[in-house]
Amino acid sequence: MKLLFAVTFASIYGLVIRLLYGFFYDILEIMSITFLILIPVIIGFLTVIFLSTDISKNYGKAFLLPWITAIVILVITLLFSIEGAICWFMLFPLFGILSGFGGMIAYAIRKRKHTDTNDRDHIKNSTLSVSFALFIPVFLGYLEGEKALFPEIVTVQKEVLIEDTPSNVWKQLVTTEDIVMEKEESFLLEILDFPKHMNTILDTAAVGGKRIATYERGLFFEETITTYDKNKKLVLEVHTDPTKIPPTVMDEHILIGGKHLDILEDTYTLKLIENGHTQVTLSSRFYINTPFNWYARIWAESLMDRILESELERIKKQVVDRS
């Protein structure tokens, strides 16, 4: 019963804070150190602080019990569309670990203060700690705002070898025909439920030409050719208007074209190698802006790596089919 109460109380706290940050989004930044680092710790802390020693009897158990609360919050926020699956998939490992640390902190405090006191005294002694935990995230979140966001440009590059000449590869690269994609995606894109690429249309094969890449669920990218070096190099400037992307496509916090993530430029480079084969290199420059870019970069690079790989495989198949 005590564990049920602790998990329920900590879950309600987490949900209320999430809704509060969502409602006051103009002054409370969800992509902040306070929300993403401190709050999971507090949720873990609240899960363990009221428990008796026979429930959280060691540091290991104190670390694992908050994961129950984390799972409850995950399920509720997904069911009521408070958070998206992509965000949770990326953040849940970090969320669980941090909440576990919060549980260990609570256990350490209880272990130090709890000698022969009864449960009533234990709850009374924990009141000050809990009151502090409940209100400090709102205060710190307000003070932090967007100060901890750190903009960074990242480049991901992939290569493929095609058994054909650069001129033939180039023809398929800049074709103005409607290129329909096959429904083949990587396991990571499937897990993240990233919209599948449906088709690509280029109006003019020259500098200033416009290319539109359309994905499922209304996601699309408008690209403008800025460099056109025939049979050698093609550079496209990517434009994404987040206001034109349906809210059901991606989670608002990792919305492409938003303040935390944006794709800037794609570059195709063709190089003739021995035996008349062509090495096609595709690089993409994108922008991330979070307080923990070291973690966001891992997922962003992995996602872009799979997208570029899919595009290169599309070009390779297209060349082979039409040669």
Q: What is the pLDDT of residues 171-180, one digit of tens each?
A: 888 876 665 5
**With 70 as the cut, is the pLDDT of residue 6 above it?**
yes
Confidence of residue 284 (pLDDT cuts 50, 70, 90): very high
Q: Vertex 257, ends 300 and 307: CA angle to 5°?
A: 40
If you write DSSP's letter for every residue of 165-183 in order, what string do you get? -HHHHHHHHT--S-EEPPS
Higher pLDDT, 70 or 316: 70
Which residue did the predictor score with more confidence, 92 or 188?
92
Q: What is the pLDDT of residues 126-166, one digit of tens each?
A: 566 666 667 888 889 989 988 889 999 999 999 999 999 99
The pLDDT, as a whole number, for residue 116 is 47
Q: Determine the average pLDDT of the residues in 247-258.
A: 70
Listed residue (189, 210, 174) closest to 315, CA to CA:
174
Handedness of CA 10, 15, 17, 18 (dihedral sign): positive
Residue 155 — φ and ψ, nearest 5°?
-120, 130
pTM for this prediction: 0.79
Domains contained in the chain, CATH given: 2-144 (no CATH), 150-322 (3.30.530.20)
Residue 158 identity (one-letter amino acid): K
pLDDT of res. 180: 58
Per-residue confidence (pLDDT) for residue 138, from 0 to 100: 85
Torsion sign, CA atoms 274, 284, 314, 189: positive
> Do 264 and 236 form a contact (C-beta atoms < 8 A)?
no
* Cα four-point dihedral sign 29, 145, 32, 191: positive
Mean pLDDT is lowest, of 63-67, 192-196, 207-211, 298-302, for 192-196
Percent of the chain past pLDDT 90, that is, above it, reads 40
Return the pLDDT at 181.
Answer: 57
* pLDDT bracket for residue 121 (50, 70, 90): low
Phi and psi, residue 202, nearest 5°: -115, 130
Tokens at residue 39, please?
Answer: 């709050």
Residue type, 150: F
The overall average pLDDT reported for the chain is 84
- pLDDT value for 56: 62
Reading the block at residue 224, the tokens are: 């403008």
Coil, strand, or helix at residue 279? strand
Look up tokens 């690079």; give the residue: 301
**Dihedral Cα 157, 86, 44, 131, nearest 10 deg:** 110
